[in-house]
Homo-oligomer: A and B are copies of this chain.
């Protein structure tokens, strides 16, 4: 109930804090997280981030200016542009991701192992049940949560 909201703010705060410490916004961090295992087109990025394509243009402009990502012409479709993480971008997202995971781990370590397992089981059950309940609609949300959370 209310605890879930509190918990979600704790998790988000942790992510936001570590992002800010590395001069990243939440969106930039989500972007880099997505790019860790993909080289999507601008269009795909817009869908993954649930943003307008023009917003993604600006987002990539700024990230490219900082040397975190690079644009690559697609060979398959000459209209399309692929986005790739640079070494610097990869290193940066790895740092933020490590700190964030550490935070979540520390939060969970407050619980005895048995509770931790139970919590993990209940959370996945809630996620699965929720997804099943809402069908397609929710799959989009879950996917965006996963990719966003894959920061992680």
Query: Which positions in A face B, CB cutoff 8 Å?
Result: 1-13, 15, 104-108, 110-111, 115, 118-120, 122-127, 129-130, 132-133, 141-142, 144-146, 148-149, 151-152
Copies assembled: 2
Residues in B with CB closer than 8 Å to A6 are 123, 127, 142, 145-146, 149
Residue of B2, B104, B118 touching A149 (CB-CB under 8 A): B2
8 A-B pairs whose Cβ atoms sit less than 8 Å apart in the complex: A3-B123, A5-B145, A5-B149, A6-B146, A8-B12, A13-B141, A110-B129, A122-B122
In contact, B107 and A130 (Cβ under 8 angstroms): yes
- With A9-B141, A111-B125, A119-B123 given, name 13 new contacts (CB 8 A): A4-B11, A5-B11, A5-B104, A6-B146, A7-B126, A8-B9, A10-B127, A106-B130, A108-B126, A110-B126, A118-B118, A119-B122, A122-B122
**How many angstroms between the C-alpha atoms of A118 and B7 in the bound complex?**
15
Residues in B with CB closer than 8 Å to A124 are 3
In contact, B5 and A7 (Cβ under 8 angstroms): no
Closest 5 pairs (CB-CB, A-B) = A110-B129, A9-B145, A5-B149, A8-B8, A8-B11
**How many angstroms between the C-alpha atoms of A106 and B132 in the bound complex?**
12
In contact, A125 and B115 (Cβ under 8 angstroms): yes
